[in-house]
Structure 1
Amino acid sequence: MKTKKLFSSLILLLMIATATNAQVRFGLRGEVGLNKPSFSKDIVEVENLTGFKLGPTAEFQLPLINLGIEGSLLYSNDKMNVTGISEGGVQSTVQKVSNHYLEIPVNLKYRFGSILPVKVFVAGGPYARFLLSGDDVKISDATENIKAKNFEAGINLGAGVEIFSRLAVGVQYGFILTDNYGTDKPEWKDALNGKDGTWALTATVYF
């Protein structure tokens, strides 16, 4: 019994010491979309999906094991062109749609090479996006404008390199788990929500 109590006490002290020695660092994170896809259906066409993100980030690093948890608060702006197509195949005026979001990604991050000035890292975790404002999509056959949804969610997976613990650059792929737009028409739904995922170039500067 005394041995179990001593072992439990040692584990508790180790956990407290680990939490005490853990490091927190702050930085500025940015992302640029690498996507310029084109989605076409019978009566709607979506082209040139681009976007960027920018905002503060914080990373909680566990000592000795090169593992950390990073959370960010990003302003996100997505842009795309939407064109309506009539029954005769004639394209109507191109709509330039821009949506503004507040995005919160949380990633588990692991580094390889603890004593090297250049470290390779892999990261992954969920994200949530909240619509701040955006442009409606107007299609001639729709009874009302199609609006972007107020909430989106997905999962990010990425990899990259970190230099002197100050600059991290990488590539990230985002799996989208929710629709960006809500509509009952399959043709419009498939075109507006037709992207399987998004690629982005990421960069973080730590202070």
Structure 2
Amino acid sequence: MKTKKLFLSSLILFLIIGPAANAQLRFGLRGEVGLNTPSFSEDVIKVENLNSFKLGPTAEFTFPIVNLGIEGSLLYSNDRMNVESVSEEGAQSVVQKVSNHYLDIPVNVKYKFGLLLPVKVFIAGGPYARFLVASDDFTWETIKGKVEAKNFEAGINLGAGAEVFSRLAVGVNYGIRMTDNYSVDEPKWTDAFNGKKGTWSLTAAVYF
């Protein structure tokens, strides 16, 4: 009986300590470019999201035996959009270009599939948080003081891609926003500024 207990204890320790001893921690640089150009119109305003990009350090902690790991990043994020006036005749004119600056903290669980020796396919998913660092104020009188960027945003990331030679990883990410990123005093403008809950982006990371 004692022998069986000793064997089971040794096996459990091996399963816990073994992968941890072989775990790999590596650092790199990650970038992300938005692939969305949505447009929303409400009465006298039209909101067009032009582009977004992110850049910053990333770290990945992986258990090689099970090809499972956790990746966390600290990214500077810049989101840009145009706010246009819409006249009764339907003519449009650019009123203001708005840029918001965030610190993004995504944390993803990543699983890798080995294909050919230098290539691995991965899937990833996890939560993210965004903290507003700076934002352009609206100067157009119609919306001035009625629309303001929120200080915090949260959501979920889902992604997939490929890694080459354990150095370069490229993929596609789908972010599902769980909170609004603008507070809007005019209810009819809520969809114009917060209407897009899901966004696509192209990601790339280089590990050192």
Cα deviation, 1:28-67, whole Å, max 9, x if unaligned, reads 0000111111111112211133110000000000121111
Unmatched runs of 5 consecutive residues or more in structure 1: none
Other-structure match for 2:121? 120
SS of the residue corresponding to residue 165 of structure 1 reads coil
In structure 1, distance between residues paired with 2:79 and 2:189: 18
Instruction: Tell me how far apart the structure 1 counterparts of residues 194 and 138 of structure 2 sit (CA, whole Å).
Output: 13
Letter in 2 for 1:59: E
**Residue 36 in structure 1 maps to residue 37 in structure 2:** yes
* Cα deviation code 1:179-205 (max 9, x no counterpart): 010113222111000113111110000
Q: 1:1-207 residue pairs with structure 2 within 5 A?
A: 2=2, 3-4=4-5, 6-85=7-86, 91=92, 94-113=95-114, 116-138=117-139, 140-142=141-143, 144-207=145-208
SS of match in other structure, 2:183: coil
* Code of the aligned partner of 1:108: V
Q: Is the 8 A contact 1:139 1:145 kept in 2?
A: no
Contact 1:121 1:160 in 2 (8 A): yes
Corresponding residue SS for 1:84: strand
TM-score computed with the length of structure 2 as normaliser: 0.91
Cα distance change of structure 1 residues 143 and 118 upon mapping to structure 2, 3 Å threshold: closer
Find the aligned partners of 1:94 and 1:148 in 2 and give their Cα distance: 18
3-state SS of paired residue (1:182):
strand
Specify whether residues 8 and 137 from structure 1 end up closer, same or farther in structure 2 by C-alpha distance, changes over 3 A only.
farther
Following the alignment from structure 1 to structure 2, what is the Cα–Cα distance between the partners of residues 62 and 114?
Answer: 17
Q: 1:188 to 1:138 in 2, by over 3 A?
A: farther
Residues paired across the two proteins, number: 207
| Counterpart Cα distance in 2 of 1:183 and 1:172 | 28
Q: CA RMSD in A?
A: 2.0
Say whether the 8 Å CA contact 1:51–1:77 is kept in structure 2: yes
Q: Per-residue displacement from partner, 1:140-191 (whole Å, max 9, x unpaired)?
A: 3447252100000011111111101110011111001000101132221110
How many angstroms apart in 1 are the aligned matches of 2:65 and 2:184?
A: 50
Contact in 2 for aligned 1:138/1:145 (Cα 8 Å): no
Q: Which amino acid aligns with 2:136?
A: D
Letter in 2 for 1:50: N
Aligned partners of 1:43 and 1:187 also within 8 Å: no
Residues 58 and 36 (structure 1 numbering): CA distance in 2 closer, same or farther, change over 3 Å?
same
**Deviation string, structure 1 residues 106-153 (Cα, Å, up to 9, x no partner):** 111111116621111111111000000011235534472521000000
Q: Percent identity?
A: 70
Does the 8 Å CA contact 2:57/2:74 hold for their aligned counterparts?
yes
Does the aligned pair in 2 maintain the 1:84–1:139 contact within 8 Å? no
- Stretches of structure 2 that go unaligned for 5 or more consecutive residues are none
Q: Which amino acid aligns with 2:179?
A: T
- Secondary structure of 1:195's match? coil
Structure 1 runs of 4+ with >6 Å offset: none
